[in-house]
Amino acid sequence: MILMKDIVRDPNPVLRKQSKRVQFPLSKKDQKLAKDMMQYLEVSQDPKLCKRYGLRAGVGLAAPQVNVSELMAAVLVPDDNDDPHHPQFKAVIINPLIIANSVQRGAMTEGEGCLSVDKDIPGLVHRADRITLQYQDMTGKKHIVRLKNYPAIVCQHEIDHLHGTLFYDHINMKDRFAKQGDEVLFS
Ligand SMILES: O=CN(O)CCNC(=O)c1cccc(Cl)c1Cl
Ligand code: NI
């Protein structure tokens, strides 16, 4: 089970590396990693279990955050009324590729957080409001999905991790809450 002690923290250089492609069929190690990362998200989103294991809640987790430089991340975006049985987007995304970005930009009003960044860094993290995401699932099957708003933001945050980018790299440090043109803000 992944615990906070297993999460790599900035400025560990592994968070700034480019991850490597994952080969199929998945090795036993990669299968366990994928399952453990999704399990972390599920446990962290259950208030009782989250407290019991001393976790920080998360809606995504990328392999470099547990010291594995591979193109793999787990995403579990709960639905609005927090019904655990109907998440907005739940997937282990392997060898993900953003194949289209909307011109429309979006950002979360309250900014973003990261398990690998221990301090809160306020500011708007400007991203594409909608993306077309191509990824392989654990069987190697290729998926192409169109995402918008929160699921799109989370996938961009995770895919950034795979390429050595952290959320605060996108914040305008001279004016942290300056909007970018007509970007969509949402909480
Ligand atoms: O890389 C994943 N994490 O660091 C997990 C912790 N952060 C979050 O759950 C989180 C919080 C707010 C906005 C976004 Cl986009 C994300 Cl991803
Ligand atoms: Ni993160």
CATH number for position 46: 3.90.45.10
pLDDT category at 117 given cuts 50, 70, 90 is very high
Evaluate if residue 134 carries a pLDDT over 80.
yes
Ligand 2 midpoint to CA 178 (Å): 22
The answer, yes or no, to whether ipTM is higher than 0.90 is yes
Q: Is the pLDDT of residue 7 over 90?
A: yes
- pTM here is 0.97
* pLDDT value at residue 81: 78
Could you list the residue range(s) of the whole structural domain that residue 54 is in?
Answer: 4-185
Cα–Cα distances (Å) from 174 to 12, 62, 71, 170, 171, in that order, read 25, 29, 32, 12, 9
- Asked whether the predicted pLDDT for residue 83 surpasses 80, the reply is no
On whether the CB atoms of residues 45 and 30 are closer than 8 A, the answer is no
Counting ligand 1 atoms within 8 A of each CB, the residue from 40, 55, 112, 129 with the most, and so the one to mutate, is 112
Tokens 């961009």 found at = 156
pLDDT band for position 118 (cuts 50, 70, 90): very high
Q: Is the dihedral of CA 130, 41, 30, 32 positive or negative?
A: negative
Helix (H, G, I), strand (E, B) or coil at 177: coil
Alpha carbon distances (Å) from 10 to 36, 118, 119:
21, 8, 10
* Number of domain units in the chain: 1
CA of 139 relative to ligand 2 center, distance in Å: 25
User: In the 8-state DSSP scheme, what is residue 27?
Assistant: P
* Ligand in nearest proximity to the CA of 168: 2
Q: Which ligand is nearest to the CA of 40?
A: 1
Atom 10 of ligand 1, nearest CA residue = 113
C-alpha torsion angle, residues 77, 66, 122, 96 (rounded to 10) = -50
Q: What is the pLDDT of residues 42-78, one digit of tens each?
A: 999 999 999 999 999 999 999 999 999 999 999 999 9
Rounded CA-CA distance 70/51 in Å is 29
